[in-house]
Amino acid sequence: MVIADMSSDTGARFGSPLWQALFAPESIALIGQSDNPKRPSGRPLRYLRRDDYKGQVHPINPRRETVQGETAYKDLNSLPGRPDQAYILLDTDLAMSSFAACCEASIPVVQVLADGFAESGHEGRERQEQLLKMAKDAGVRLLGPNCMGVADLNSGLSLTVNAVFDEDIERGGRVALISQSGSMMGGLMSRAASLGLKFSKIAAVGNEADLGVGEIGQMLIGDPETDVILLFLETIRRPDEIAKFASAAHAAGKPVIAFKLGRSSVGQQLAVAHTGALLSEDSLVDAFFRDLGIVRVTMLEALIEAATLCRGKAPIGKAQPKVGVITTTGGGGASACDQLSYVGVDLLTPNDDTVSKIRATGINVGQGPMTDVTLAGARADIIGPSVSAMAHDPDCDIVLAVLGSSSRAAPETALPPVIEADVGDATLAAFLVPDAIAGLKLLTEAGVPGFRTPESCADAIRAYCRWQKPRIRSIASIEPPTAQRTLNEHDSLRLFEEVGIHTVSSVAIAVDEVKEANLLFDYPVVAKVLSDEIAHKTDAGGVIIGIADQDALIKAAMQIKQNVESASPGNTVERILIEPMVNGLQEVLVGCQLDEQVGPVVTVAPGGIHVGVYDDKSVRLAPVDLATAREMIDEVIGLAPLRGHRGAPLGDLEALATIIVAISRLTERQDIRVIEAEVNPVIVSTRGATAVDGLVRIAE
């Protein structure tokens, strides 16, 4: 029995009391264990006994003297000792009272199967808060609610209700899985089995009221039986813990691969309904994974297939890694190349020396982005040396072997030449065009990633190529502000000046004092409504440009007052802001915000009237340095003119990068808490960049 006060040592690390209670308990209480082994609440006892779990198991069912042939206990007080972990298998109402009893007994870790909590609405959220308060008051760690269990597949701990454990699951795996969906845990395991991929540890975290992805991930990093950690996510909770986990995983050389729902608006709505969590825009989530060094795949199949691709590897460390494709089937190879190119992966055209080495095997091949050896078939004396030659091309980072019907008809002879090829420092992968389960298992057993569709192959390789070491290693805990206010443009620009951003000159003046305005700059000018209440001035008719003289300025001021007060009844326009007209090459938006899921982020996009017209932006976790700011500029397609596209004059990109860095650091300020800041536009010229409009929201 693990006797430990979980309130005094809750360390999320391998071997800690928390680890022992969760993944290596010496005794387990099954509260509400059914006598029917086929019911969900009857499965945990059956699985534990079948898999030869070595610890004590105490089924609790006050209605029966025996459960599945074993003594059933009336309640926790009837047990011979305090269990290390309890799994509550009862419905929602009974689960609440049972959890209270577990807290009174100071059981270190308690899982709750029942739903009807935060994912079900306001009342459910209140019930979940009650669970969490009870847990914290008692020093008990809660897994769930809405949790389908945990498993150590190498020790026989099959503490789950998931029916996938009815199947004969192979042991001895090196891949761990953390899933926010209990049912998908089973789906992923069954799909992995057809690849020959085996798991070490599995945890379904449910609603993550207490224990979550970050803490469990940190524990798995030290597990000597785990090399890769897979995440199936519906949302992101506690990004600070996930950041700690990702940083430590990178330091330990254990890749983390994530699949997350919510890429579409429908997916976001479904994820909200299923988990009761807030959803961020997908681009923010993508930046979150990328900057934390987490490999993100977008296809479910790729989550499984990428495990072998990334196992034992580190990020390639190149901006544009290249993939050399060699195929024994023209159509199959073309489908792979098409998908790779479609998702933005660079295909390698081998150099003359590489082509000569391949031709030396006795087959005449062309020189292009796909090396086709179809006419030679899958001959060992050709395919093996050809793969090796491609891998040793100095520009090759990944060599993809695309194999045809022989990988299904005779995998035991077709695959060894590829598996045993000398690929040096390159990464070897294989796409098997037919339905070749035996071949995929041979590849997995040999440590070679195998793919069954060109789409998942391209997705996994794209994710591997984009993988980078963590740029952000910690994220401050995010507390949503209870109140906030918006600064007017004049005050926003002054804040930007304080952090070193070059801003346009401006004069704030009352509408009825425009006649006496003493401007420090020449006409033409622009006049704007100045109000904390009007965020989108142009939409309200609050901006007039090209004002040529003082008479025109007086008229413009009155027109702005009339426009805004008509568009926004109840708002009285008392002041306007006057600025000189600023010309340049292009308008750019630079903004930062404190996102409730992923923390502070910075965004760069085409500015002015182009904002929101195209999905064209670059997003990173904040803060960023100059090098990252330059990368962001390069990623925005709409900023190509500033980069000299088709002979356009070069913009001062260094000045723009400096503004991006300054904006990204606003959320770090200690004197005020910046929730959101946006410069739109920054006008970039050949020499310099100027902020001419802005908006800042701060916490009160």
pLDDT confidence band for 539 (50 / 70 / 90) = confident
Spatial separation of the C-alpha atoms in residues 506 and 217, rounded to whole Å = 52
CB neighbours of 635 closer than 8 A, spacing ≥ 6? Answer: 618
Is the backbone peptide bond immediately before 623 cis, with ω within 30 degrees of 0?
yes
Contact between 52 and 249 under an 8 Å Cβ cutoff? The reply is: no
Tell me the one-letter amino acid at 675. Answer: I
Backbone φ/ψ region at 656: left (φ over 0), alpha (ψ -120 to 50), beta: alpha
Pull the structure tokens for residue 571: 């708002």
Work out the average pLDDT over 148-160: 97
pLDDT, tens only, 426-473: 999 999 999 999 999 999 999 999 999 999 999 999 999 999 999 988
pLDDT exceeds 80 at position 270: no
- Give the pLDDT score at 86: 99
Q: Which residue has the higher pLDDT, 480 or 191?
A: 191
Rounded to an integer, what distance in angstroms lies between the CA atom of residue 677 and that of residue 593? 6
More confident call, 511 vs 597 = 511
For residue 192, the one-letter residue type is A
Sign of CA dihedral 322, 328, 334, 336: negative
8 A C-beta contact, residue 395 and residue 348: yes
Tokens 């986990």 correspond to what residue? 245
From CA 162, how far away is CA 171, in angstroms rounded? 17
**Is residue 102 a contact partner of residue 145, using CB atoms and an 8 Å limit?**
no
pLDDT of residue 271: 41
Region 633-659 average pLDDT: 97
| Distance between CA atoms of residues 145 and 206, nearest Å | 6
Q: Which residue, 1, 259, 25, 15, is CA-closest to 152? A: 25
Tell me what the mean pLDDT of segment 285-314 comes to. Answer: 97
pLDDT tens track for 622-632: 999 999 999 99
Beta-sheet strands, E only, within 263-330: 295-297, 322-327
For residue 600, which of 463, 467, 479 has the smallest C-alpha distance? 479
Which tens digit of pLDDT belongs to each residue from 649-692? 999 999 999 999 999 999 899 899 999 999 999 999 999 999 99
Tell me what the mean pLDDT of segment 608-617 comes to. Answer: 82
pLDDT at 268: 47
Which range has the worst mean pLDDT, 263-267, 444-448, 532-536? 263-267
- Backbone φ and ψ for 219, nearest 5 degrees, come out as -70, -35
**Burial of residue 367, with CB atoms counted within 10 A of its CB: 0-12 exposed, 13-18 middle, 19 or more buried:** middle
HSE (side-chain half, CA atoms, 13 Å) at 168: 1
Joined tokens for residue 511: 């509408």
Mean pLDDT of the chain, nearest integer: 93
Distance, in Å, from the CA atom of 245 to the CA atom of 189, rounded to the nearest integer, reads 23
User: pLDDT value at position 481?
Assistant: 78
Which amino acid appears at position 544 of this protein? Answer: I
- CA–CA separation, 353 and 362 (whole Å): 15
Asked whether the predicted pLDDT for residue 297 surpasses 70, the reply is yes
Cβ neighbourhood burial of 95 (10 Å; 0-12, 13-18, 19+): buried
Chain segment 180-211, per-residue pLDDT in tens: 999 999 999 999 999 999 999 999 999 999 99
Q: What is the SS3 assignment for 571? A: coil
Residue carrying the six token digits 């037919």 = 434
Distance from C-alpha of 393 to C-alpha of 341, rounded to nearest angstrom = 20
Confidence of residue 377 (pLDDT cuts 50, 70, 90): low
Please report the pLDDT score of residue 9 as a whole number. Answer: 44
The neighbouring-strand residues paired with 175 are: 199, 228
Look at residue 346 and tell me whether its pLDDT is greater than 80.
yes
How far is the C-alpha of 35 from the C-alpha of 28, rounded, in Å? Answer: 17
How many whole angstroms separate alpha carbon 574 and alpha carbon 424?
72
For residue 510, report the phi and psi dihedrals to the nearest 5 degrees: -70, 145
Cis peptide, bond prior to residue 681, ω within 30 of zero: yes
- Exposure of 33 in the CB half-sphere (CA atoms within 13 A): 33
pLDDT score at 483: 86
Looking at residue 11, its pLDDT comes to: 66
User: How long a stretch of residues is the chain?
Assistant: 700
What's this model's pTM, rounded to 2 decimal places?
Answer: 0.91
Classify 677 as helix, strand or coil.
strand
CB 430 within 8 A of CB 311: no
Other CB atoms within 10 A of residue 482 CB:
7
Most confident of 270-274, 438-442, 476-480: 438-442
3-state SS of 184-239? HHHHHHHHHHHHCCCEEEEEECCCCCCCCHHHHHHHHHCCCCCCEEEEEECCCCCH
| Ramachandran angles phi, psi of 262, nearest 5° | 100, 20
Catalogue all structural domains in the chain, each as residue range(s) with its CATH number: 17-309 (3.40.50.261), 316-466 (3.40.50.261), 505-580 (3.30.1490.20), 586-699 (3.30.470.20)
Q: What is the pLDDT of residue 272?
A: 38
513-526: pLDDT as tens digits: 999 888 989 999 99
| Interatomic CA distance for residues 442 and 411, integer angstroms | 8
**End-to-end alpha-carbon separation of the chain, Å?**
50
C-alpha distance from residue 504 to each of 489, 498, 534, 540, 682 (Å): 11, 13, 20, 22, 10
Q: Of the candidates 627, 526, 628, 640, which has an alpha carbon nearest to the alpha carbon of residue 585?
A: 640
- Beta-strand runs (E) in 48-123: 56-60, 66-67, 70-71, 85-88, 109-112
Question: Distance between CA 129 and CA 150 in Å, rounded?
Answer: 23
